[in-house]
Amino acid sequence: MVFFLGVIITVQIAHFSILDYLCRMTEIELKQKVNQGVYLPLMEAFYTLQGEGYHKGSAAYFIRIGGCDVGCHWCDVKESWDAEKHPPTRIESIVQEAKKWSNTVVVTGGEPLMWPMSPLTTELKSKGIITHIETSGAYNLSGAWDWFCLSPKKTKLPTPEAYKAADELKMIIHNQNDFKFAEEQAALVGEDCILFLQPEWSKREQMMPEMVDYVLKNPRWKVSLQTHKYLNIP
């Protein structure tokens, strides 16, 4: 009887060890799929009006990808930083849902370029969807983009490829020093890139008069506002 119980116990231990091994293998395989860009850590996705920059007021479907280590202290979506908190999701599922809502998709974050974007944009374009991205440009450029919004941050500067790809440069103005940083970044993008100054939300009342004055003196710049916050929409 003791021997019999011993056999049973041994089998159970072996059984749980195999299950544990298979679970670990599944996690490893899932991480590989995320690193390949065929799964992505999806924080949220929603249909709304674009609130900032060149396309403000236009309807679009937003895909917010988790993961960011740029670390802006004034970031309004800090819950996006930890990719582990957001479920790896098949890009086919993401695109299938997007297609129900809009023919224009804005991929944002977090920092979406932390992950390979080519599988996602290939799938989106196969469905006839226009692709936009909002990025700090701090990671290697991937994906095929119809509109590239570059928003550089001092903590982690864009790659040379990001400057070249930028259709729109959006500089966040938190204090006086940010005007100098904005000009430094504007010198690195192409001649056709549209230049925007946008007040950091918590400093908007303080910085807006200075931004208006700056744009009047430097008319190649335009003012961008977070109109979605004024409209109280996502």
d(CA 221, CA 215): 6
Please tell me whether residues 30 and 123 are part of one structural domain. no
Give 112: exposed, middle or buried? Use CB within 10 Å, 0-12, 13-18, 19+: buried
Q: What is the mean pLDDT of each run of 10 residues along the chain (234 residues)?
A: 37 44 71 94 97 97 96 86 94 97 97 98 98 98 98 96 98 97 98 97 95 98 94 90
Please tell me whether residues 115 and 226 are part of one structural domain. yes
| Amino acid identity at 185 | Q
Q: Residue 164: which domain range?
A: 39-231
Please tell me whether residues 56 and 32 are part of one structural domain. no
Q: In the prediction, which pLDDT does 72 show?
A: 85
Q: In the prediction, which pLDDT does 19 show?
A: 54
Please tell me whether residues 6 and 89 are part of one structural domain. no
Strands in 94-228 per DSSP E: 104-108, 130-135, 147-150, 168-173, 194-199, 221-223
Please tell me whether residues 19 and 118 are part of one structural domain. no
Please tell me whether residues 63 and 174 are part of one structural domain. yes
φ, ψ of residue 66 in degrees (nearest 5): -75, 155
Q: Is the CA virtual torsion 47, 48, 50, 52 positive or negative?
A: negative
Q: In the prediction, which pLDDT does 3 show?
A: 37
Please tell me whether residues 26 and 67 are part of one structural domain. no
d(CA 178, CA 210): 11
Please tell me whether residues 109 and 76 are part of one structural domain. yes
Q: What is the CA radius of gyration of the chain?
A: 22
